[in-house]
Amino acid sequence: MDKSVGITARLDRTEALKLALEVSNRFKAAGFSVFLERELAELVGEGERAIPLEKMDTDLIVIIGGDGTILRTCLRIPKPETPIFAIGLGTRAFLTEISHERALEAINLYIKGSYKIETHSKIASFIGDFRLPDALNEVFITTRHLSKILHAKIWKDNVEVADCWGDGIIIASQVGSTAYSFSTGGPIVDPSLDAFIVTPVCPVNLIRPIVFPDNSRITIEILKPKNATIIIDGDYRREIGGRENRITAMISEHKVNFIRFRYDFYRRLRERLLFPLEEENEQKT
């Protein structure tokens, strides 16, 4: 039975478009059925292989770009657990392992079966009975107007945890602990821990990030203002208000699966988050 691969890429980078065509040709040469996201296919002259991202029901999805491209893709693909082969264009993309220089070499390893699957939990969130798209990194709750302070209560299961006054509240997954939550002072969670984090953003009262076990049900009850905004993975946005004042979050039944060739979380952490600015400054001097 033929295997299929879908390819998507950052569309505003020439090197991404060039690499997407090279990746497509390599998989085709190996006997894969290859499809490209519609806009990408048109840009690289592969219109006969075009398919909307929302209908990319393939055995593998190759993403060329940074973390934003990965998050956007994971929000839209029809089967959330389809393995992701992420190729990075820069030095800061934390979710990618393979650089664009080593992309074709890594594809050869994948074709030979020399790879591992790295699995991460996602966050399911609800407004009442309405389910929002699952988040790979975080669910961010904030006010519609930046000048306003969000006042909300944080609940774990049916227990009130804390009142929060601030710019917003982040509910982050384990993998999301290295993203927005990290930049606002949240802890980094080791991949072996089944947990997620609630991080207040710029709180004016004495409250700090809290790590909860993965069987928790977290509810954010918005008290003021009456209207608020939910942003998922920096891409999906929904306005809420009136009686819709509670957002509930828990670990999703769906996972995300990354293709990996070597797994070294702390090496990636050192190289891309903890010391990259220092290394860049050394290179400039």
Question: What confidence tens digit (pLDDT) does each residue in 33-53 have?
Answer: 999 999 999 999 999 999 999
Pick the catalytic residue from 2, 12, 59, 67: 67
Beta-carbon neighbour count of residue 29 at 10 Å? 10
pLDDT per residue as tens digits for the range 134-177: 999 999 999 998 889 999 999 999 999 999 999 999 999 999 99
- Residue-level pLDDT at 119: 95
Q: List the domains of the chain with CATH numbers.
A: 4-115+261-284 (3.40.50.10330), 122-253 (2.60.200.30)
Q: Judging by DSSP bridges, how do beta strands 236-240 and 168-172 pair with one another?
A: unpaired
Residue 275 pLDDT level (bands cut at 50, 70, 90): low
pTM of the model: 0.91
Pairing of strands 218-224, 150-156: antiparallel
Torsion of CA 13, 15, 18, 21, to 10 degrees: -80
> Given a cut of 50, is residue 244 above it in pLDDT?
yes
Tell me which of 281 and 55 has the higher pLDDT. Answer: 55
Partners of residue 109 on adjacent β-strands? none
For the chain, where are the alpha helices, taking DSSP H only? 14-29, 38-43, 67-76, 103-112, 180-183, 265-269, 276-284
| pLDDT over 70 percentage in the chain | 94
The answer to whether residue 235 is catalytic is no
